[in-house]
Amino acid sequence: MYLNHHHGTHLPHIPMDIDPTDVASAWLRRFSSSLTLLDLPQIASCIHEDGFLRDILVFSWSNRTLAGPAKIISYLEAARSAAAAITSVKLDTRMYLSPDFDAGTTTVSSGFTFESAVGSGQGYFSLTPEETTGEWRAMSVFMMLSDIRGHEEGGPEEGVYGEYTIAWGEIIRERRARIERDPYVLIVGAGQTGLNMAARFKQMDIPTLIVEKNAQIGDNWRQRYPTLTLHTVKKFTEMLYQPYPNLATFAAKDKVGQWLHQYAGSDDLVVLTSSYPLPTPTYDAAAKRWTVGINHEGTPVTIHPAHIVLATGIMGAPNGAAFSGHRVIVVGAGSSSADICQDLVVQGAASVTMVQRSSTCVGMAIEVSDFKAEVTPYLLAKRVMSMHEEEAWEAEKETHRGLREAGMKLNMGPDGAGTLGLARERFGGTAFNACFSQVCRWLNASQDSVSHLTSRDEIHLLTFSRARRRLR
């Protein structure tokens, strides 16, 4: 996704017979040796002046993105011992991660693997030649801790216990009781994120308890509006270790909820339903443990986890009412709003008006895809995507034409960076073609405000803002 131009000027001529593996190997040798020696000038020479380092748990127990050699050097100097412990640095030879030119560019990108003081890791870098000297430098370097030593992912169990003398049910009951009594990690929320994290921790042999306020796993999907489906193809939302069964491409909400329930059961995750944490947890710095009260089906329970993970999502509680025969205004112009507007018309609302407060951005092996999605620092991705704004408008011009004719204002995200920018910066303000191409025919109008309405108008207002407030 990188450009043939750097700072708006042409890059040096690149010979046609250049080998990307040679370029990547030479740069990686230079970078890894400078890390080990903490050779600050050498580190600086490996990265462009406007380049980035993105670190996930390698040099500190945090996620950091540093822009420019000065900040990168300062960060690595503070993490001197962690940087010096980077060893066994090798180019990645797996498909899609081995050295190659990015399509249509002079950028050489490659994955790599390494060992750190606490475990194994993997990384990814993208190189372009320096404008005046032609020296290859990194526009971005990504490094991620993949496994914690002693807690590597274990894979499936053999399934034989006590040389066939102990039943699986007995093993599961004992494990569940032990985890409920003394979890190392408490996860609040049994949605996709909470279940995925619990599944990964289970593979790492980290005792993990999930508490879920609903009566059943998957109710957070079942309780949403009737016509809700996935807004992206199901492949984008698969769970760890288990691909989706033969669901529809845009699976219905009840099927997603059913799958989440099945997923937790088949992976033997320990979940307390009808349960939620009570205010307010306290932390013992000496013991490195929390004291947390849990309301479990009306009974208070106290546990002492070392870590608490909040996986409760970003959306608020759903609202609902009967709208047949009423004039309805839906405030908000994202994917949920499109679904609701269409459903209201089908269900017999007298009229439906979508109120758009600001313009909307309409756009269109998973392990490798997820990894590559993380390697690029957001600010760099935003910069590059902004350069392709005109192409993005052209690609969706037919859908956009219909929406504009219905009165909708459109944008291409912050600084023209598309849906990614709005998702990262606002957690909303986006809509996908899957729901909006059909809605072009359903919209009555789009207004900047509802100031023309009076108290005599019998109108229900639904809001689909992040706060999910009810307006009257």
In tens, the pLDDT along 125-141 reads 999 998 888 899 999 99
Please give the model's pTM, rounded to 2 decimal places. Answer: 0.70
Whether pLDDT at 429 is above 80: no
247 versus 219: the higher-pLDDT residue is: 219
Per-residue pLDDT at 14: 58
CATH topology of domain 168-310: FAD/NAD(P)-binding domain (3.50.50)
Rounded to the nearest 5 percent, the helix, strand and coil shares of the chain are 30, 25, 45
d(CA 341, CA 462): 10
Region 165-192 average pLDDT = 96
Q: Where are the alpha helices (DSSP H) in 79-128?
A: 80-84
Region 212-240 average pLDDT = 87
User: What residue spans define the domains of the chain?
Assistant: 5-145, 168-310, 327-463
Residue 377 makes CB contacts below 8 A (sequence gap 6+) with 52, 54, 65, 67, 140
Could you tell me what percent of the chain has a pLDDT over 90? 50
Region 139-167 average pLDDT = 92
d(CA 125, CA 378): 15
Domains 5-145 and 168-310 alike in fold: no
Per-residue pLDDT at 332: 81
d(CA 147, CA 145): 6
CATH topology of domain 5-145: Nuclear Transport Factor 2; Chain: A, (3.10.450)
Count of alpha carbons within 13 Å of 443, Cβ hemisphere only?
26
416 versus 118: the higher-pLDDT residue is: 118
Per-residue pLDDT at 290: 98
252 versus 393: the higher-pLDDT residue is: 252
Contact 190, 212 (CB under 8 A): yes
Which of 35-44, 56-65, 416-425 shows the highest mean pLDDT?
Answer: 56-65
The band of 430, judged by pLDDT with boundaries at 50, 70 and 90, is low
Residue 70: CB atoms within 10 A of its CB come to: 11
Instruction: Please give the full DSSP string across 254-323, using - where no structure is assigned.
Output: HHHHHHHHHHHHHTT-EEESSEEEPS--EEETTTTEEEEEEEETTEEEEE--SEEEE---S---------
d(CA 27, CA 138): 9
Q: Where are the alpha helices (DSSP H) in 52-114?
A: 69-78, 80-84
Region 388-412 average pLDDT = 78
Could you tell me what percent of the chain has a pLDDT over 70? 81
Pairing of strands 185-188, 120-129: unpaired
Whether pLDDT at 54 is above 80: yes
Six token digits for residue 254: 């009840």
